[in-house]
Amino acid sequence: MTNRIAFQGEPGAYSHEACRKARPDMEALPCRTFEDVIEAVRAGSADLAMLPVENSTYGRVADIHSMLPQSGLHIIEEAFVRVHINLLALPGTKLEVIERAMSHTMLLGQCRAFLAKHGIHRVTGADTAGSARQVANMAEPQTAALASELAGEIYGLDVLAHHIEDQGNNTTRFLIMSREADLSRRGTHGMMTSFVFQVRNIPAALYKAMGGFATNGINMTKLESYMVGGSFTATQFYADIEGHPDDPPVQRALDELGYFTTNVEILGVYPAHAERY
């Protein structure tokens, strides 16, 4: 055991914050790409991977779902992080001297009202934590960063304004993944099962494949499609359902799903997080 959890981004990223929140006892290992995060766990450099899958404002994180089936990893938990955006600047800087704010384009778009009110121009940076690091190294008091409080703590910046995002409910959902599956029943809010499947090339295959979940009273909380191998005819679906594969209604639904699909692969069985509700 390395007691490490890998995430994509620089120290201070929101994925880093998710690691601290979900696994405060583990060392967070920053990685350059999502592929690097997965490989770190597969190679044994880390025990767990923290991967963002969707955001309440911007939808799913591009490419993640297509990586999961090939990763060789298993979902063992989900985590939710409320994306609080803060204006960070060099120590001792006053808000009135700030002329520019640097961050990832998505965060810049989420703080339009605050930036307009204070006459602050937007500057696109590589990412949130990277922008905080750059502001710390630039030594230009007029330039601030939009990032997490954790980024300010790491790079020695002052928080000039807390929680300046336009929307008050922006949340990112993460999946915690491991080399080993955990099929045990755990948690206090029920179980979730995530899986992928491809439907057979027959009329109404998707409709028929989904019928078993409706007739067995299984709540499907997510169903998304994406192309496989760049083909317009090969479509894979990713689904989240409430329940455990050993529950009789889930068993019946998955059995029926098998009649209309070419393959079904369970990606993980994990406890539903309280913040889901």
**What confidence tens digit (pLDDT) does each residue in 120-150 have?**
999 999 889 999 999 999 989 999 999 999 9
- Report whether pLDDT(206) > 70: yes
Residue 220 and residue 193: Cα distance in Å, rounded?
Answer: 10
Extents of the domains making up the chain: 4-83+170-178, 86-161, 191-272
Report the pLDDT value the prediction gives residue 226, as an integer from 0 to 100.
79
Question: Which residue would you say has higher pLDDT here, 81 or 230?
Answer: 81
Stretch 233-239: mean pLDDT: 80
CATH superfamily of 191-272: ACT domain (3.30.70.260)
Establish whether domains 4-83+170-178 and 191-272 are of one fold: no
Q: What is the pLDDT of residues 59-107, one digit of tens each?
A: 888 778 889 998 999 999 999 999 999 999 999 999 999 999 999 888 8
Residue 277 and residue 270: Cα distance in Å, rounded?
Answer: 15
- Report whether pLDDT(182) > 90: yes
10 Å Cβ neighbour count for 152?
Answer: 22
Q: Which segment of 4-18, 88-102, 175-189, 263-277 scores lowest on mean pLDDT? A: 263-277
Residue length of the chain: 277
Stretch 181-209: mean pLDDT: 91
Residue pair 6/73 in contact by the 8 Å Cβ criterion: no
Q: What is the largest CA-CA distance in the chain?
A: 66
Residue 228 and residue 246: Cα distance in Å, rounded?
Answer: 29
The domain made up of 86-161 is a member of CATH 3.40.50.2300: no
Q: What is the pLDDT of residues 143-168, one digit of tens each?
A: 999 999 999 999 999 999 999 999 88
Residue 34 pLDDT grade (very low, low, confident, very high; cuts 50, 70, 90): very high
Stretch 211-217: mean pLDDT: 95
Active-site positions?
A: 172, 174
Cα–Cα–Cα angle for 271, 36, 107, rounded to 5 degrees:
75
Which residue in this structure is represented by tokens 């002052």? Answer: 158
Report the pLDDT value the prediction gives residue 139, as an integer from 0 to 100.
87
Q: CATH assignment of 4-83+170-178?
A: 3.40.190.10
Residue 225 pLDDT grade (very low, low, confident, very high; cuts 50, 70, 90): confident
